[in-house]
Amino acid sequence: MKNIILILLLFLFAGCDGKIYNNIHDKSKIGVSVSSIEIVANDEQSLNYSKKIMEEKGFVVAKSNYKLRV
């Protein structure tokens, strides 16, 4: 039983070998230059809130290859 638990722990920690970014606050960490973003929302209120937040973060909200689905 001890051997099985040790092997499972070994497999668990062997898979953790890189940085994991949960929230990306700095656009330079993405790896591409994202200058504009298109927002796709279900309703007008979500679109307006998302647009305001993204513009405050320095994004241009316009037709783009990058889409934020809200």
Assigned token pair, 40: 């796709």
- Taking 60 as the threshold, does the pLDDT of residue 65 lie above it? yes
Burial of 45 from C-beta contacts in 10 A (0-12 / 13-18 / 19+): exposed
In a domain? residue 9: no
In a domain? residue 11: no
- 53 lies in which domain range? 22-70
pTM, entire model:
0.49
Q: What does the pLDDT read at residue 24?
A: 57
Q: What is the pLDDT of residues 12-30, one digit of tens each?
A: 666 555 555 556 566 565 5
In a domain? residue 15: no
Mean pLDDT of the chain: 75
Number of domains in the chain: 1
Banded pLDDT at 58 (limits 50, 70, 90): confident
In a domain? residue 14: no
